[in-house]
Structure 1
Amino acid sequence: MSTRKVVFYTFAFFIFVLTVPRLCAQNNVKMTPGEAAIARQKMVDYSKQFVGKPYASGGIGPNSFDCSGLIFTVSRESIGVQLPRTTKAIFNFCKEIDANTREAGDLLFFKTTASGDVSHVALYIGGNQFIHAASDGPNTGVIVSSLKESYWKAHYYCTRRYLPASNSDLLADSNPQKYAEQVVNKSSGTSQNSTSAGTASANSYSDNYSSGSFLSSLIVDASISWDWSFFTCDYFKLNSRGVDTMFHVRYAGNTLQPGFGTYIRYDAGTGNFQLPFVISLTLNEYFRIFAGPVISIGTPYLPSKSNERIENSFFPGIIGACFSTPGFKAGKTMISFVQDIHYTVFNKTDGSALSFSKSAATGLVFATGLRVTLPLNNVL
């Protein structure tokens, strides 16, 4: 096996080793009980403003919602935690708890379709009540319902959470009347109490995710980074490797989120432009792996005093991992710091492999920068 392939597959194994613990880790948000109590109350308070908004498949607000779109938006906008986009992905993201320990701010999951799969999600607000976006029945749109209603009692599946327990008696046993809201019945135009939703058909209140909702499950991001490395072929020291921008889109409908992206990158170390096209897998909001071919523009040279001419490998081209910090809100976007580590394959001009040290010095690059993220619905 050539040195180039040894380097490439060694780096791939390194990424795999980093990935496995994250696949096995629970996606809980780290907070103290006091912070969790504040966050949970913020979610409940923020969600109440949407009561009466209409249902729309794929909707993430602020004027219409589907069930997971409501949870997605409430979490992101009220406490800055971005959940996966679909009901099943949110279900997999959260940890199941005993119903006797649930608090306001936990999530309720229902099986409402003939398939028997989890199909509906709601925000528990205490006192057996929950806020959710209903697609069918006497009351539709964002309403308040009760677990004591025959339909919801029959189709309730489990309670899950991603926020730590607050151990607050108030959140664990809120006054039901505190959250009773008057909502508009869309079919008659009259006001009804949302807790009298009644019974719906077996296919009611489901998140179908048709073609319209597919777009709402797409998350786009763009980043700009400074590229650097620890060494060249001649010395060990921090050196600049240029700049890059990346445009990326991922499908947030699964726990493991596939995506596609492209870099526009100037590599100061080799003196050429590169256009990597990558297939990615986002494991959670903070970790992504990627790989793909690389198109080279210009003549690359070995980053050494010898100034030896080399060539980019189209495929295998690049493999890497990207880490990001928790984001902070700026309008409808989330901004986070990112740290990227990637390895790009270079060869000699005759197609033979570079030595291990030259390959590592040329291809192993770190990138530090900022990422801006937002749902595709906010772009279109």
Structure 2
Amino acid sequence: MKIKSALPILLFFTTFLAIFFGQSTISADSIKPIQGIQTTVNHKDCLASLSIPKKTQQIKADSKPEVSETSTKKATKSYSTLINLARKQLGKNYVWGAVGPDTFDCSGLTQYLFDNAYNKTLPRTAAAQYAAFDHVSHDNVKPGDLVFFSYNGGASIDHVGIVVSGDNQMIDAQDRGVIKESYMASYWKPYIAGYAHVMDLK
């Protein structure tokens, strides 16, 4: 009688243990991910999915490259350098073919002045200097320009002087030496062949 009454209890207990141990194994699939975190196959996929904002350099609207003032302005040589050097040659003797510094012919003088005042090389002869530079009219002649003369109506260029002032004055080397005189004088004016602008002077 006691054994029969104990069987249902034993059977219940055995069934309970069987059910309990049968459910005690937890599979990985039964674990749900924590809310807000997605599982990935490997960490590389996770890193690739991250969006990292790039740091960009902000440039002010007024931040422009600095430009030297000298590069934006046209370089201009001082006229006084040329005229002062020309005046120092006054009184020196004329010698045909001479290029200074003690004696000059006409084109030797103009070549010497530009070379020593501005390190600018002029052609050797008056004819070559006449052909080398842009010509200007009489009304547009400025100090530092060259004035040319021809004794045969322009068939050849025979003489050159350098304009040194706005009142038709030039310094040239001729038979009387290096002198300052007017190129509009009666003995010069009829032979003027033209004028040439060598460089900008202020």
TM-score range with shorter-chain normalisation? Answer: 0.5 to 0.7
Distance in 1 between the 2:184 and 2:199 partners?
A: 25
Contact 2:144 2:198 in 1 (8 A): no
> What is the aligned length?
129
Deviation at 1:45, TM superposition (A): 1.2
Q: Which structure has more helix as a fraction of its residues? A: 2
Task: Summarize the alignment of residues 346-361 of structure 1 with structure 2, pairs less than 5 Å apart.
Answer: none
Tell me the amino acid that sits aligned with residue 86 of structure 1: T
Deviation at 1:117, TM superposition (A): 1.1
Tell me the amino acid that sits aligned with residue 130 of structure 1: M
* Structure 1 match to 2:133: 94
Tell me the amino acid that sits aligned with residue 43 of structure 1: L
Aligned with 1:52: secondary structure?
A: coil
* Structure 2 match to 1:149: 185
Higher relative contact order (CA 8 A, sep 6+): 2
Residue 76 of structure 2 corresponds to residue 35 of structure 1: yes
Check 1:128–1:98 CA distance in 2 against 1; reply closer, same or farther (3 A cut). same
* Structure 2 match to 1:131: 171
Report the identity percentage: 28
Check 1:130–1:46 CA distance in 2 against 1; reply closer, same or farther (3 A cut). same
Deviation at 1:112, TM superposition (A): 2.4
User: Structure 2 stretches of 5 or more lacking a match?
Assistant: 1-72
Q: Rg larger in 1 or in 2?
A: 2
Deviation at 1:47, TM superposition (A): 0.7
Contact 2:76 2:201 in 1 (8 A): no
Q: Deviations over 1:144-192 (max 9, x none)?
A: 11023101111111110120364xxxxxxxxxxxxxxxxxxxxxxxxxx
* Structure 1 match to 2:147: 108
TM-score (norm 1): 0.32
Distance in 2 between the 1:112 and 1:34 partners?
A: 37
What is the aligned-residue RMSD (CA, Å)? 1.8
TM-score (norm 2): 0.59
Residue 77 of structure 2 corresponds to residue 44 of structure 1: no
Distance in 1 between the 2:101 and 2:191 partners?
A: 28
Task: Summarize the alignment of residues 278-289 of structure 1 with structure 2, pairs less than 5 Å apart.
Answer: none
Q: Deviations over 1:340-364 (max 9, x none)?
A: xxxxxxxxxxxxxxxxxxxxxxxxx
Distance in 2 between the 1:122 and 1:159 partners?
A: 10
Check 1:100–1:114 CA distance in 2 against 1; reply closer, same or farther (3 A cut). closer
Tell me the amino acid that sits aligned with residue 195 of structure 2: T
Contact 1:66 1:133 in 2 (8 A): yes
Distance in 1 between the 2:152 and 2:92 partners?
A: 23
Deviation at 1:115, TM superposition (A): 7.3
Which residue, out of 140, 152, 164, partners 2:200? 164
* Structure 1 match to 2:15: none
Distance in 2 between the 1:118 and 1:164 partners?
A: 24
User: Structure 1 stretches of 5 or more lacking a match?
Assistant: 1-31, 167-380
Aligned with 2:188: secondary structure?
A: helix
Distance in 2 between the 1:117 and 1:85 partners?
A: 15
Tell me the amino acid that sits aligned with residue 158 of structure 1: G
Aligned with 2:76: secondary structure?
A: helix
Q: Which structure has more strand as a fraction of its residues? A: 1
Q: Deviations over 1:185-218 (max 9, x none)?
A: xxxxxxxxxxxxxxxxxxxxxxxxxxxxxxxxxx
Residue 123 of structure 2 corresponds to residue 84 of structure 1: yes
